[in-house]
Structure 1
């Protein structure tokens, strides 16, 4: 029977939860890591056979209370608990074609331009680069000059030579790569019929073993602030702190990076802004 997204998520989370973390006594050597199915079922208050059918894709969508019980059993945090419910809900309603995204607002473009020494850019739900200021253009090797598949923050982090040489970007937790993949995974639950999204995941998994490993962890949640590790020939710093602001449009974020005060990087970003301060560049979202 083909693997279902719900079943894959349940198996991945079960494998990552150690018995000791679940308050279970040692039970000798286990053939596989994590909890056994019957242990999750017992903690969730359902039968082991019912839970096994869920993982195998042979059980109809469970009710909300059952999902909450499973979330408790697997110790899912708020974002991943919501993701579990969204995975279940996707079976209840057919997915339509994704709507045409609106243009980046003039207010948001003006905000990017006010950050004269800070790379700032807007991403869409699959982290396509929608708009950026001149410092961000310098940081990302001028996205407007690059092929469509490279105008994506995922490509910048996992495949660009400036980003993918540092394991700091690719750690399983607490890294920009882990956050981006978790956010993409959450978006994937809402768009099961989005072929462009499926192609993006397939291509990124093929091009980057690190992306594929993070995708298989089945984490879900929004991106947050952190540190971007870079190897850039025009800059003198290896780490940029960044923050993330959610925009009113669903799935859109502003990323703003900050170079250390007085660094050559800060001066390089300010110089890039001064070359064309009139408005931020904007790109149409390209197909994956």
Structure 2
């Protein structure tokens, strides 16, 4: 009897997203399944079809690292997705014991508030745990600056604020998928996924794709209701004392129109002495 597992769900989604011609297989006749067949993935990975089927069906939960690497290569996974696949194969005793809390340390709060640019701290489910006054002002067009995923998919302001909304939506879900790989049993991630899947068909669709990408560096095009268009460079940093939290900093190119717009926003923003907790 088969049973759904995070590992099986991921393998199935990535197999169905891959076309035969993308892996050098012939594509002719009517195919009864989207993407590759299980037997084709098994052939490419050099394992038996029965073994691969057991992986997808949840009847084999402890594949060797060599098999996982071979399956990742067969599915044409990039480095992040391959690491994610390896993590999904770990049992609870093998997973690192992270902080798994919403409390932001005092030193980190001081660092966040001391930053002149917008800066904030997010948890694995993209909850905003602390933010400085500039970050709060930057997101003032939203009903609540509390969870980045909810802001993208549910708040009407999201589609105007994120000028490349589809890209922001994909990034948002892929980041949460990456966090899920570290802790598939996370109650908070499950809560957010359930809430947003019911509230947004777009979120539900993207969550089913199992795309994986962590926060690092990227350029964002935003539109603020008071200061207009902003071309922001995002940098994200893992917090050593709380590895499940990330510090996110938005910066503008010096002497650019965006830098001038952020300066106007700063003039409109009341000063604070400590980063506001938002969880």
Shorter-chain TM-score bucket reads 0.7 to 0.9
| SS of equivalent residue, structure 1 residue 164 | helix
Report deviation, 1:218: 0.5
Provide the residue aligned with 2:233 in structure 1: 242
What is the rounded CA distance, in whole Å, between the counterparts of 2:162 and 2:49 in structure 1? 39
Kindly report the root-mean-square deviation, in angstroms, between the aligned alpha carbons of the 2 structures.
Answer: 3.0
Provide the residue aligned with 1:40 in structure 2: 41
What is the rounded CA distance, in whole Å, between the counterparts of 2:182 and 2:93 in structure 1? 12
Report deviation, 1:226: 3.0
| Contact residue 259 and residue 265 of structure 1 kept, 8 A | no
Return closer, same or farther for 1:98/1:278 CA change in 2, 3 Å cut-off.
Answer: closer
Higher strand share: 2
| SS of equivalent residue, structure 1 residue 210 | helix
Provide the residue aligned with 2:277 in structure 1: 282
| Contact residue 134 and residue 272 of structure 1 kept, 8 A | no
Which consecutive residues of structure 2, in runs of 5 or more, have no partner in the other structure? none
Q: TM-score, normalised by structure 2?
A: 0.84
Alignment equivalent of 1:156, drawn from 124, 130, 151: 151
**1:186-237, Cα deviation, whole Å (9 max, x unpaired):** 2223323332221111001111222211111101231233344545432321
Return closer, same or farther for 1:61/1:213 CA change in 2, 3 Å cut-off.
Answer: same
| Contact residue 113 and residue 277 of structure 1 kept, 8 A | no
Provide the residue aligned with 1:218 in structure 2: 210
Return closer, same or farther for 1:78/1:96 CA change in 2, 3 Å cut-off.
Answer: closer
| Contact residue 161 and residue 224 of structure 2 kept, 8 A | no
Provide the residue aligned with 2:122 in structure 1: 123
Q: TM-score, normalised by structure 1?
A: 0.82
Which consecutive residues of structure 1, in runs of 5 or more, have no partner in the other structure? none
What is the rounded CA distance, in whole Å, between the counterparts of 2:220 and 2:153 in structure 1? 12
Alignment equivalent of 1:265, drawn from 238, 243, 261: 261
Provide the residue aligned with 2:131 in structure 1: 132
Return closer, same or farther for 1:243/1:140 CA change in 2, 3 Å cut-off.
Answer: same
What is the rounded CA distance, in whole Å, between the counterparts of 1:97 and 1:278 in structure 2? 29
Return closer, same or farther for 1:269/1:205 CA change in 2, 3 Å cut-off.
Answer: same
Question: Which structure 2 residues correspond to residues 11-90 of structure 1 after superposition, within 5 A?
Answer: 11-90=12-91
